[in-house]
Amino acid sequence: MNDKTKRFVKSKFQDYYRTAEIHLPPDFTSREWGFILFDEMPEFVMRRHKAFGSSGELHDYLSGMVPAHAYYSVAYYEYPNAPNMKEKNWLSADLIFDLDADHLPGAPKSYADMLEHVKQESLKLYGFLNNDFGFAEEDIHIVFSGGRGYHFHISTPAVRSLGSAERREIVDYVGSTGLEVNRFFGKKGVSGDAGRESAEVFVLPSEDEGGWGGRINRYMVSYLSGIAKQEDSIKILTGFKGIGKKKAEQLIEIFRDERQISLLKNGKMEALSNIPKPFLEALANQAVSEMSASVDEPVTSDVKRLIRLPGSLHGGSGMRVTALSISELETFDPLNDAVVFSDKSVQLKVIKPFSVQMKGNDFVVEPGEGTIEVPEYAAMYLLCRGAAEYGSN
């Protein structure tokens, strides 16, 4: 980013900050703040150990210094502006989760598809936090990072005192690390009536059971009943180890029986007692793989982490770091809803090939095309990404 480009981008950020709605975190006066300034780029020098006594002070800093990136600490300190970490006197910290497309296995290469992929992972995480851990909707604060993912903030007193080890355990749980699926199904003895022998029946946690047991049940019921309705059901089932054509045909008949499906939902698997165990293990492992949420463990376990300020702009994209409710997340389109700049035409000189889809428009640029004109919102993205410079020369 040359000086001319830097001045243009900084001026647009400044225009935004003059009227921006900034979402201050709880007890913001007890937080450490950090900023990366345009004036010091391309060096990423973090100006940290700052504190603000009022929202007005913070707004004045944002509109006056115009940072490329703005952060605050997840931690609460007695002396947040002390020059070193020891002197700050750590008190407690929010529980934070970071889902970034760069850390997700199998993330698509297209930016738009990548953002959709990480949003689906975020919805999985919300399900764990709300259903498994019992956090109320109003206690789970979701933020689009402005770049390639989402942050989850929980500030309730119950979590603030958790140490790094406890926070890692939460990450392990939602990511299924160390989960042994075999313990969720097996056989148990049932006493017979007078004159009848005792027997063994196959059991599974019911769909209403909390934690991973209920999740695996719901997945298996949905998967098995869905297979029975597909034309290629035989082919799908015989793809599992230990399932031949005859066994697959028997299973399809079972899965089409609503009474058997109802028993399965209640954790009763008498009809499945003669199914090869490798099939059940494979299906349970498939359930765990598809239902786990991939989060960045070092972020969650770091009780002194700095995290992006909701309402600020991301200096690497020009998009807004956007606070969301769960209902807003479900319909949120970052490449439209986090775009803050205008449709006014801006001249650029492309310096490297790049493509992006924003506000329903596809922009594909190549160097050597001379000066091009694109809407301001696309120009800001290309400039922040280092794909172009401002103006004709």
pLDDT, position 186: 63
DSSP per residue over 308-359, as a string?
EPTTSBPTTT--B-EEE-HHHHHH--HHHHT--S---EEEEEE-S-EEEEET
Q: Averaged over 21-26, what is the pLDDT?
A: 94
pLDDT, position 155: 95
pLDDT, position 250: 82
Q: Averaged over 222-247, what is the pLDDT?
A: 84
pLDDT, position 304: 96
Confidence of residue 191 (pLDDT cuts 50, 70, 90): low
Q: Torsions phi, psi of 258, nearest 5?
A: -60, -30
Q: Per-residue pLDDT tens for 63-95?
A: 999 999 999 999 999 999 999 999 999 999 999
Q: Could you tell me what percent of the chain has a pLDDT over 90?
A: 60
Active site residues: 98, 100, 296
Q: Torsions phi, psi of 25, nearest 5?
A: -75, 160
Q: 137 to each of 129, 153, 166, 212, 321, how far by Cα in Å?
A: 9, 12, 22, 21, 20
Q: Give the side-chain half-sphere CA count within 13 A for 342.
A: 7
Which of residues 240 and 192 earns the better pLDDT score?
240
Q: Averaged over 193-215, what is the pLDDT?
A: 70
Q: Label residue 261 left, alpha or beta by phi (over 0 means left) and psi (-120 to 50 means alpha).
A: alpha
DSSP per residue over 163-229, as a string?
-HHHHHHHHHHHTTTT--GGGG-EEEEE---TTS--EEEEE---TTSSHHHHHHHHHHHHHHHHHTT
Of 348, 377, 186, give the one whose Cα is nearest residue 273: 186
Which of residues 244 and 163 earns the better pLDDT score?
163
Q: Torsions phi, psi of 148, nearest 5?
A: -125, 20
Q: How many CB atoms lie within 10 A of CB 82?
A: 15
Q: How many CB atoms lie within 10 A of CB 254?
A: 17
Count, residues in the chain: 393
Q: Give the side-chain half-sphere CA count within 13 A for 351.
A: 16
Q: Per-residue pLDDT tens for 245-291?
A: 888 888 888 888 888 888 888 877 666 666 677 777 888 888 899 99
Q: Which of 27-31, 37-41, 187-191, 334-338 has the lowest mean pLDDT?
A: 187-191
Q: Per-residue pLDDT tens for 91-145?
A: 999 999 999 987 777 777 888 899 999 999 999 999 999 999 999 999 999 999 9
pLDDT, position 149: 94
Helix axes 55-65, 3-19, angle to 10 degrees: 150
Q: Is the pLDDT of residue 23 over 80?
A: yes
- Token readout for 264 is 């399965």
- Token readout for 298 is 């070092």
Q: Which of 156-160, 195-199, 200-204, 381-385 has the lowest mean pLDDT?
A: 195-199
Q: Averaged over 2-13, what is the pLDDT?
A: 94
pLDDT, position 92: 97
Of 356, 201, 328, give the one whose Cα is nearest residue 263: 201
Cβ atoms of 210 and 218 closer than 8 Å: no
Q: Is the pLDDT of residue 199 over 50?
A: no
Cβ atoms of 287 and 212 closer than 8 Å: no
Q: Is the pLDDT of residue 11 over 90?
A: yes
- CA 155, chain centre distance (Å): 18
Mean pLDDT of the chain: 89
Q: Per-residue pLDDT tens for 308-354?
A: 999 999 999 999 999 999 999 999 999 999 999 999 999 999 999 88
Confidence of residue 188 (pLDDT cuts 50, 70, 90): low
